[in-house]
A and B are shown apart, each in its own frame.
Chain A
Amino acid sequence: MMCEDSRRDTSRAAISLHDLAFRYAADAPDVVQDITLDLPSSAVTAILGPNGSGKTTLLHLILGLLTPQRGRISLNGEFHSHRRASRVLGLVPQEEPPAFNLNVLETVLLGRAPYLNLLQRPSERDYATAFRALETVGMAALWDRPIPALSGGERQLVILARALTQEPDILLLDEPTSHLDVGNARRILNLMRDLRAQGQTVIFTTHDPNAAATTADHVVLMRQGRVLRAGAVAETLTGNYLSATYDVPIDVVQDRQERLLVVIY
């Protein structure tokens, strides 16, 4: 099932997208089109673009929640069933309003679902996995706190812990910082760096160029459903490309530690 385009080196790609196109209805315009892209493993990739540029749609296509009209998606060079894919991909969704008063641990345990059949319930080993994830995000002490009683930042950490409990090869985060204050946003982004340092593949969407500049190794710039530019941070986060992505003048400067800072006028 490997793609015929053998010149492309997909061996180190966590996710390979080939000639992808998607529209929500037959008579609707393409939301995502002409996307051929390799997303590297053991790296943090930011999918960056303005609102409505197709970032979340792309994420849902990778998840398998949406089926593309054209093109193929492989994970680690393979095509997976839905159930297998849920062990490879862990999702932190954009927004997750709590429905009932599940507590932190009960929520995180749901991350074990990909490993349990319809009638199984989490075992002691699943509890251990859940607690490891809670310790990673620093929320183990609050394990019996009901989700509605948490702050927005804490809730995001719990959802991240649930995704980690899936023990996924690839972590997908959909706008993980968009409804957090700067402090909580920074904590989440730093955590993504820490996870990457342990070899985790992390892919996140964002409309904030600075989040990409400070956190990502690799950036995909999206605009109107197409990839404008993809590559290492230094090659993609330039004033020209960012200005073209957002249609406003944008400059990129370096601070004294040679870190990139994005300035929007």
Chain B
Amino acid sequence: MSAEAQAATARVAQFRRRLWALAGVLLLGMTLSLFLGRYPGPYFTPPATLRDNELARAVVLNLRLPRILAAVLLGATLAAAGTTFQLIFRNPLVDAGFLGVSQGAAFGASLGIVLLGGSAAMVQGGAAVFAFLGLAASYLMAQRLRLGDWVLRLVMAGIGVAAFYSAGTGIIKYLADPLKQLPDITFWLLGGLWAITWQDVLHILPVVLPALAIIFLMRWRLNLLSLRDATAFSLGALPGRERLVMLIASVAATAAVVSKAGQIGWVGLIVPHIARRTLGADAQAAVPGGMLLGGLFVLLCDDLARTVLSGEIPLGILTSLIGAVVFFSLLLSNKLELKR
């Protein structure tokens, strides 16, 4: 084996070690998060209290644990879907909110709150259904357009569908009862995990796990799908069909987590960037790296959201705020240039 080939093999091993280290950090973070909170005392719950205090034990096992799992799933899903969308659309500035998906979720949730009684099932179901309808409408519309290549057509269709949904959400907000329903819509749009129970986690797992598994297992293939149609085809791929599979997996997982957590901005946009810059642009590393980093990022944000103040800080505000700060500090420290 040539010196170059040896160096290349060593590089792969190095990335694999980094991924495992990241997985270790995430597990550690999840464990520590169990002891963060505001009961019995603020900030830190000493493990010893769990032995004596039955209520504290119940808080840790029935409130914090499912919430921690939900935060990690939420982050991993948004980052994985963001990475997938960015690769497939050959555009580093898109995420799964693209193609009318997040506007669809917002519209569905608002509809559930105002017209369908506002029960949790209606809000979550509405968000999931309309997120998917957003993808379907964008896709069907794109098939009817006759300009540019597949990617451009989808982008154009997505912009149109998103505008329709935004207008629809506006109408619903206008019609909503300003004292009861409008605050609900606003809080859903701000996003948060305060109401997560074990049941919620069990609801989303059957969708999120298979979808993430598909994205994870096909991760090398994503490199191929980021090439132009003719090139991907000449390399044996069926770009249209394979991209559709990846998009459905991404949107299904996103719709599931967003229906429980509301709109959580920035994660799907910035985490894939950080993963690519630190672990390499190859989707083989960027996909699992993004999932781990996304899980860690949302976990930390949610820890802050539920610990810092006696009241809950909406998670969506924190992810955007911290995401923007991280983004700028990376830009200014030139770290983003490392892996250009």
Task: List residues of A whose CB falls within 8 A of some B CB.
Answer: 60, 63-65, 82-83, 86-87, 89-91, 93, 96, 99-103, 105-106, 110-111, 113-114, 116, 118-122, 124, 127-128, 131, 134-135, 140-141, 143-144, 146, 148-149, 166, 172
- What's the interface size class on B, roughly? 35 or more
The CA of A166 and the CA of B219, in the complex, are separated in Å by 20
Contact, CB under 8 Å: A131 / B5? yes
Q: A144: which of B8, B220, B224 is its contact (CB, 8 Å)? A: B8
In angstroms, Cα B235 to Cα A87, docked, is 8
CB neighbours (8 Å) of B231 from chain A are: 91, 93, 96
Residue ID in chain A nearest B219 by CB atoms = A121
Q: Are B223 and A110 in contact (CB under 8 A)?
A: yes
* Chain A residue, CB-CB nearest to B238: A82
In the complex, A82 Cα to B235 Cα: how many Å? 10
The 8 Å CB contact of A105, one of B8, B217, B219, B226, is: B8
Interface: B52 (CB within 8 A): no
7 closest residue pairs by CB, A with B: A86-B236, A91-B234, A114-B236, A99-B90, A101-B281, A121-B220, A113-B235
Q: What 0/1 pattern do residues 223 to 234 of B give for CB contact below 8 A with A?
A: 110111111011
Do most interface residues of chain B lie in helix, strand or loop, or is the interface mixed? helix
B339 in contact (CB, < 8 A): yes
Convert B1-33 into 0s and 1s, putting 1 for each residue whose CB lies closer than 8 angstroms to a CB of A: 110110111010000000000000000000000
Assembled-state Cα–Cα distance A90/B2 (Å): 25
Contact B221 A93 (CB under 8 A): no
Q: Are A65 and B8 in contact (CB under 8 A)?
A: no
Indicate whether A146 sits within 8 Å of B340 (C-beta atoms), given known contacts A93-B231, A141-B4.
Answer: yes
Q: A100-B276, A110-B224 are in contact. Are A140 and B4 (CB under 8 A)?
A: yes
Min CB distance B272 to A, Å, is 10
Q: B149 at the A/B interface (Cβ < 8 Å)?
A: no
* A113 pairs with B281, CB closer than 8 A: no
Q: Which residue of A lies closest to B87 (CB)?
A: A100
Among A65, A110, A121, the residue within 8 A (CB) of B227 is: A110
Query: Which residue, A93, A113, A134, has most C-beta atoms of chain B within 10 A?
Result: A113
Nearest CB of chain B from residue A132's CB, rounded to whole Å: 9
For residue B160, CB closer than 8 A to chain A, the reply is: no
B130 to chain A, nearest CB (A): 30
Known: A100-B87, A110-B227, A113-B236. A140 touches B242 (CB 8 A): no
B7 touches A83 (CB 8 A): no
Tell which of A111, A118, A134, A148 has the most Cβ of chain B within 10 Å.
Answer: A118
Q: Cβ of B280: which chain A residues have Cβ within 8 Å of it?
A: 103, 106
Whether the pair B339, A63 counts as a contact (CB closer than 8 A) is: no
Query: B residues within 8 A CB of A118?
Result: 218, 221, 242
29 residue pairs from A and B, CB less than 8 Å apart? A63-B233, A87-B236, A89-B234, A93-B230, A96-B227, A100-B87, A101-B276, A101-B339, A101-B340, A102-B223, A102-B281, A102-B282, A103-B282, A106-B223, A106-B280, A114-B235, A116-B220, A119-B217, A119-B221, A121-B220, A122-B220, A127-B8, A127-B9, A128-B1, A140-B4, A141-B4, A144-B8, A146-B340, A148-B340
- Give the contacts of B325-340 with A (CB-CB under 8 A): 339-340
Task: Tell me the bound Cα distance from A46 to B340 in angstroms.
Answer: 37
Point out which of B4, B226, B284 has the most chain A C-beta atoms below 10 A from its C-beta.
Answer: B4
Residues of chain A with a CB closer than 8 A to B223's CB: 102, 106, 110
Q: Does B136 belong to the interface (CB within 8 Å)?
A: no
- Cβ-defined contact, B5 with A99, below 8 A: no
Chain A, Cβ-Cβ closest to B146: A25
Residues in chain A near residue B234, CB distance under 8 A: 63, 65, 86, 89-91, 93, 172
**How far apart sit A249 and B66, CA to CA, in the bound complex (Å)?**
79
Nearest-neighbor residue (CB-CB) of A159 within chain B = B231
- In the assembled complex, which residues on chain B have CB atoms less than 8 Å from the CB atom of A105? 8
Partner pick for A60 among B5, B227, B230, CB 8 A cutoff: B230
CB distance from B129 to the nearest CB of A (A): 29
Decide if B224 touches A113 in the complex (CB within 8 Å): yes
Closest A residue, CB atoms, query B231? A93
| Least CB separation from B339: chain A residue | A101
Contacts of B155 in A (CB 8 A): none
Contact of A106 among B9, B235, B242, B281 (CB under 8 A): B281
Looking at the assembled complex, report how far the CB atom of A79 sits from the nearest CB atom of chain B, in whole angstroms.
17
Q: At the interface, yes or no: B237 with Cβ under 8 Å from chain A?
A: yes
Which residues from A are CB-within-8-Å of B7? 143-144
Given contacts A102-B282, A121-B220, A128-B5, contact A113 B237 (CB under 8 A): yes
